[in-house]
Structure 1
Amino acid sequence: MKITCIGGVGTVTGSKTLVESNGIRILIDCGQFQGLKPLRELNWKPLPILPSTIDFVLLTHGHLDHCGWLPRLINQGFDGKIYCTSPTADVAKLILLDSAKIQEEDAKLANEKKYSKHEIAEPLYTVAQAEKVFPHFRVINPNDIIDLDAEIEAVFTNAGHILGACTVELRLENKVLVFSGDIGRDNDVLMFPPIKPKKADYVFLESTYGDRLHPETDPKLELEMYINNAIHNGGTIIIPSFAVERVQSVMYMIWKLKEEKRIPNIPYIVDTPMGISMLGLFTANKKWHRLPEHEFIAMCKMFTLISDYQETIDTIYNKQPKLVIAASGMVTGGRVLSYLERYIQLPETTVIIVGYQGEGTRGRELLEGAKEVKIHGKYYQVNAKVIEIEGLSAHGDQKDLLNWLSDLEEKPKNVFLVHGEDEPAEVLQLKIQEKYGFECIIPKMGQVFEL
């Protein structure tokens, strides 16, 4: 059996792991690279094997860094089945269409304003190409055994994190391989805790927060303080947020604060069409989250939900203090950029970062104290207050990741640490070796392992 780490190693984006066994090729996730330019450029390069020779894709969840390269895969010849849960299929459809639309718009804008280095800027894929992914989805139920081949089985188990997210257990050649996907938190506001594996010969574990413990502070209290301070100063609060799960988590906490009369009566706005669509998925997938229906309905009523872009423009130029939640979460695209173009230069503005910021993203630049940021080819001075609330992340921290390994009945032959930058992976490697004595490997991009 051969494992090739095509992506999602040394970085938190571009997740792709190829498993080859007895002539069958299985791709675990097919994510898009984000962040640093050298990483983004990998999206334009071909895979080390022909996509037409891949038999199956097993999709852990619907985030762009796990599903965002599927249109390219299919455009280049993949004609197999993509197995995932029902919510993952729905989330992936929303995310792929949104991604394609943004790329088409960005390419059009770059061509009109001529700020692309290319003679003609092209999208990575189009909306039409994204739509060609959907017929390949095969929806499965968690804990069911899926027969991929006469001697290959797959089982999906709940990983928390976002709606439909799962860990994938692959049984083949008398071995059990467990691919964690993204592990949620044991005490998440909306999601149930992840299910821990019992058996594994080899584990492929994400390490996003391998070097970090989420603070013990109450994120709701932090939100209360920052919102009240900003409004007292006559400013607007902008919360860049991932449309899937994070928007809904932030909405829930803000709604609770408003119910408890701890924050003022100002406009509370959600401006992300995909985030609004996700609210419908929460209604349709009640068994995947712990939010009571009556609270969910009340929460949605409190917010002004914006889909039409003219409403976005009107909201941007309304000088009244307000709170806006808008995608994208790493400030790499989406409507949040339009708000930042207007508000990032105003000292009374508060930008609250509520999720992981990949290397090379605008969100990471802002967190690291950038004095200016480039948006749509133009530089803007950063005079706004930029703060981070770590406790709102949907990723498990070091403690959660270590705990996820605690139910293994026997020592695995190896734990491969993937989906993490080098330093977090190295710290987690030491912690796993100290706590469990497991052999840990940190793969390199393109590295091949024979098991």
Structure 2
Amino acid sequence: MDTKENNYIQFLGAAGTVTGSKYLLHIDGYHLLIDSGLFQGYRELRRRNWMDFHFPPKDIDAIILTHGHLDHTGYLPRLVKQGFHNPIYCTEPTADLTEIILKDSAKLQEEDAEHANQQGYTKHKPAVPLYDLKDVEKTLPHLRPQPAEKFIELNQNIRFRFRKNAHIPGAAFIEMDIKGKRFVFSGDIGRPDDPMLAHREMPEKADILFTESTYGDRFHPSEKTEDVLKRIIDETLKKGGPLFVSSFAVDRAQDFMYAIWKMKKEGKIPDIPVYLDSPMGTNVSLLFLKYPQWLSMKPEVFGEVFQDTRLVTSIKETFRLARDKKPKIVIAGSGMMNGGRILHYLEMQLGNPAATFILPGYQAAGTRGRQLSEGIPEIKLHGKYFQVRAGIEHIKTMSSHADQKELLSWMSKIENKPEKVFIVHGEPQSADALRVKISHEKGWPCYIPAFLEKVPLDL
């Protein structure tokens, strides 16, 4: 493509992979970034986080975030560090979540770098974090929280609004009008029957559609989460061991808390102690009470759930629980086991045949969670190898991403035929399967962009 074109989009992340979401729009000299996520998983992907940004950050006029997950927000401090100084638009819960998630990310990176230097298992002399808490503090003042549904004018040619999509609290798809054409950025599309979140909305028009494809090649199991979770809890109690849930701190931890509370209340499982060992998960849980308009349940119900869960407040208590082999349920971050408190439980309990570890939802390629879900006999933690003797359960009914059928349902209210459908945020197989399905069922022109590809926009 001739890069002198005034109007084009460049795919700087979530192209051929599910991580690192970044789409840079160039419209008549105005530069707009949709999402600013970290790459996660394979080392070759993580290395991209350390590269200089592919466009001068100081020249980006604005950033719009679909939601607060790290693979959509985690690169923000790096952009600010490289010169970005303009507004970051998001929903109100996303602003709060972004602060929580970025601070947690910076803290973990600082701790990991320090630990690597102390133990000597780093190739870097010394190991340094991608960004630190000071960088995060410089980033937060740029956040501009906005209400859902209301159009925000960026300039005379561009306006946008957020609409709920039931992925996590505050998550939205973006409807953007550019020079008379409707652009729709799906963000991460949630399930139509989420037990806790407000019902997802659906676009009615899209001239240019960007859709995620995380589960574009499959259907979620029809089995109920409660039935799966009850079986795992019963089997773990029969072995007399502890149950550890490797959970995403945003939404997934709260889903587990609610499901376990509900089963205990209905007498389906014993009154086993439940711990939430995730400082970020605790802070996120409080947001469920702060923004009831993003929930489908009454705040007082979640208040009961929150009170029934014991909160771990110190790393000393984490080590005590990690050594303890008695029956209990511990929910700890992170969801793909690439960091967080769950690593301490893996070190202490992965070799215990009476223990069980639960993996929830999608596990990205290259993560420890993916390795364990595929039956790897040993994993590497902090420079050492640990054999897998504990039970490993991968719950696939709790995903917060729509499957292929649910993705097509989300598009079903679009009345016009889009000029182009860009299929993003999916591994190659899932993206291509969704491309084939949309092309066959709807006759829409679909395209799977490559990393760093520039595509002209007819405006």
TM-score by length of 2: 0.97
- Residues 190 and 402 in structure 2, CA contact (< 8 A), matched pair in contact too: yes
> Counterpart of 1:132 in 2: which secondary structure?
helix
- Asked if 1:130 is matched to 2:140, the reply is no
Q: 1:45 and 2:51 equivalent?
A: yes
2:412 aligned with 1:406: yes
For 1:287, give the aligned amino acid: Q
- Residue 261 of structure 1 deviates from its aligned partner by 1.3
Give, as a single letter, the amino acid of the residue that structure 2 aligns with 1:423.
Q
Aligned counterpart, 2:82 = 76
Which letter maps to 2:440?
Answer: E
- The answer on whether the counterparts of 1:184 and 1:193 sit within 8 Å (CA) in structure 2 is no
Aligned: 1:397 with 2:412: no
Counterpart in 2 of 1:176? 182
Pair 1:151-2:157 in alignment: yes
Structure 2, unpaired ranges of 5+: 1-6
* Shift, 1:192, TM fit: 2.2
Aligned pairs for 1:215-364 within 5 A: 215-364=221-370
- Aligned mate of 2:429, from 423, 437, 441: 423
Residue 166 of structure 1 aligns to which amino acid in structure 2? Answer: A
Decide whether the 8 Å contact of 1:15 with 1:65 is kept in 2.
yes
Tell me how large the CA RMSD over aligned residues is: 0.9
Q: Give the Cα separation in 2 of the matches to 1:4 and 1:326.
A: 36
Partner Cα distance (1:189, 1:435) in 2? 29
1:437 match: 443
Taking the aligned partners of 1:102 and 1:253, their CA distance within structure 2 comes to 28
CA distance in 2 between counterparts of 1:337 and 1:316 reads 10
Whole-angstrom CA distance in 1 between matches of 2:15 and 2:90:
22
1:169 is paired with a residue of what secondary structure?
strand
Please tell me whether the aligned partners of residues 253 and 331 of structure 2 are also in contact (alpha carbons under 8 angstroms). Answer: yes
| Distance across 2 between alignment mates of 1:405 and 1:58 | 22
Shift of 1:291: 2.1
1:385 paired with 2:395, answer no
Does 2:105 match 1:99?
Answer: yes
Counterpart of 1:293, as a letter, is: P
Letter in 2 for 1:273: P
The offset of 1:265, in angstroms, is 2.5
Q: Which runs of 4+ in 1 moved over 6 A?
A: none
CA contact (8 A) 1:3 1:17 kept: yes
Deviation at 1:101, TM superposition (A): 0.1
Aligned mates of 2:300, 2:164 — CA distance in 1:
25
Report the Cα offset of residue 319 of structure 1: 2.7
- Looking at structure 2, the residues matched to 432 and 235 of structure 1 have their Cα atoms a distance apart, in angstroms, of 46
* 2:114 is aligned with 1:114: no
Amino acid in the other structure paired with 2:67 = H
What amino acid maps onto 1:335 in structure 2?
R
Partner of residue 204 from structure 2, selected from 198, 201, 212: 198
- Residues 205 and 417 of structure 1 are in contact (CA less than 8 Å); yes or no, is this contact kept in structure 2? yes
Distance 2:203 2:326 in 1: 50
Task: Return the alpha-carbon distance in structure 1 between the equivalents of residues 241 and 72 of structure 2.
Answer: 36
For 2:149 and 2:141, locate their aligned partners in 1 and report how far apart those are by CA, in whole Å: 23
Secondary structure class of the residue paired with 2:136:
helix
Q: Secondary structure at the match of 2:259?
A: helix
Aligned-partner Cα distance in 2 for 1:173–1:254: 50
Q: Are the equivalent residues in 2 in contact too, given 1:228–1:264 (CA < 8 A)?
A: no
Where do 5+ consecutive residues of structure 1 fail to align?
none
- Contact 2:289–2:303 (CA<8 Å) still a contact in 1? no
- Quick one: distance in 1 between partners of 2:325 and 2:369? 24
| Per-residue CA distance 1:316-339 (angstroms, 9 max, x = gap) | 222321111100001000000001
| CA deviation after TM superposition for structure 1 residue 399, in Å | 1.0
2: distance between equivalents of 1:354 and 1:190? 16
Secondary structure of the residue aligned to 2:397 is helix
CA drift at 1:275: 0.4
Q: Please, which moves more after superposition, 331-340 or 165-174?
A: 165-174
- 1:85 counterpart residue number: 91
Q: Secondary structure at the match of 1:30?
A: coil
Deviates more, 1:293-302 or 1:62-71: 293-302
C-alpha contact 1:33 1:42 (8 A) present in aligned 2 = yes
**1:133 match: secondary structure:** helix
| Equivalenced residues, count | 451
Structure 1 Cα separation of the partners of residues 415 and 8 of structure 2: 25
**Distance in 1 of aligned mates of 2:416 and 2:367:** 40
Query: Hey, what's the Cα distance between the residues in 2 that align with 1:265 and 1:232?
Result: 15
Tell me the amino acid that sits aligned with residue 394 of structure 2.
E
Tell me, in whole angstroms, the C-alpha distance in 1 between the residues paired with 2:187 and 2:207.
17
Rounded to whole Å, the distance in 1 between the matches of 2:404 and 2:352 is 36
